Amino acid sequence: MPRALVVRTAGTNCDAEMCRAFSLAGAEVELVHLDRLIREPARIDHFELFGFPGGFSYGDDIASGRIFAMKVRAGLYPALREALERGAAMIGACNGFQVLVQVGLLPGPAAGRPWPRDVPPGQTLALTDNHDARFHDRWVGVTYEVQSACIWTRGLMDGIEPQMERDASLLPVAHGEGRLVATDPGVISALEQGGQVVLRYRDNFNGSTGAIAGVCDASGRVFGLMPHPERYLDWTRHPYWTRLDANLRTQPTPGLRVFKNAVEAVSKVAV
């Protein structure tokens, strides 16, 4: 059974949901405080899956996810790099996505290039204030890029009838700083060309560049997104689940499929 490590700290509030997601997907889960992990980075060697949950880490002081990210950069990058080099998979949702881009784990090095040894990659993406300067807490429509390299979303709509995809492909969001921007236009172009854009908003409510809601690294194993798949593990969480087709509700939700995909992928690496 693959092992998943979910990292929490002061202000995270989606860690229980992420632990449940990994558990339902077939992984053995451990929830560890960031400070303990920094004191004992060798713990990372025992896990194949890593989750950075949403919330308001450290009260989002300075900027969303900033303190969490700086502590990871300073204390955990070498251990996380080694985990990725041995085939581990990593997800960051909402605040966790904000952390991953500030650490430099997303979008990561270009395809075929190694991770830097001791110093994380420089930050090239950011998640800044929504264009209307408002906090949005609702369900939104998304589309999944079928050509994406992301292992977490591979075949996500398989088995779902085309007429049901629009209903199934909703995800909950809850953020005030979710608008994705890049330090240079070439960064977005490289992501598009490399299959690293994973999903997009249907209505682009927060003004993200290219309506991008989530990206992955070149390997497809590091995945960050502003929506919360871990809050969509049961059809009863869907905003109008009683009106969904009964056949659709017999299958795993797209949110649960995200975690099942990752568990399956790391299981193949372990074999």
Domain count, the chain: 1
From the candidates 48, 145, 177, 230, which is the catalytic residue?
Answer: 230
The rounded distance, in Å, linking the Cα atoms of 236 and 145 is 26
Residue 77: which H helix or E strand, with range? helix 77-85
By the 8 A CB rule, do 215 and 106 touch?
A: yes
pLDDT in tens, 41-56: 999 999 999 999 999 9
pLDDT in tens, 186-220: 999 999 999 999 999 999 999 999 999 999 999 99
Helix (H, G, I), strand (E, B) or coil at 138: strand
From the candidates 94, 145, 216, 238, which is the catalytic residue?
Answer: 94
- Is the pTM higher than 0.95? The answer reads yes
pLDDT score of 162? 87
Q: Could you confirm whether 150 is annotated as catalytic?
A: no
- Over range 144-170, report the average pLDDT: 93
Q: Pairing mode, if any, of strands 197-201 and 28-33?
A: unpaired
Give yes or no for residue 263 having a pLDDT over 60.
yes
User: Measured between alpha carbons, how far is residue 92 from residues 57, 100, 106, 138, 233 in Å?
Assistant: 13, 7, 10, 19, 16
Give yes or no for residue 21 having a pLDDT over 90.
yes
- Over range 132-159, report the average pLDDT: 95
Note down the domain range covering 259: 3-270
Query: What is the CATH classification number for the domain harbouring 111?
Result: 3.40.50.880
Q: Could you confirm whether 230 is annotated as catalytic?
A: yes
Q: Could you confirm whether 161 is annotated as catalytic?
A: no
108 closest CA partner among 29, 221, 21: 221
Kindly state the greatest CA–CA separation across the chain. 52
pLDDT score of 200? 98
Give yes or no for residue 269 having a pLDDT over 80.
no
Give yes or no for residue 29 having a pLDDT over 90.
yes
Write the DSSP assignment of 5-69 as a string of letters. EEEE-TTB--HHHHHHHHHHTT-EEEEEEHHHHHH-GGGGGG-SEEEE--B-GGGG-SSTTHHHH
Contacts 24+ apart (CB under 8 A), 70-73: 70/102, 71/9, 71/34, 71/38, 72/34, 72/99, 72/103, 73/102, 73/103, 73/104, 73/120
How open is the CA angle 84-229-175, to the nearest 5 degrees? 100
pLDDT score of 61? 87
Residue 270: pLDDT band (50, 70, 90) is low
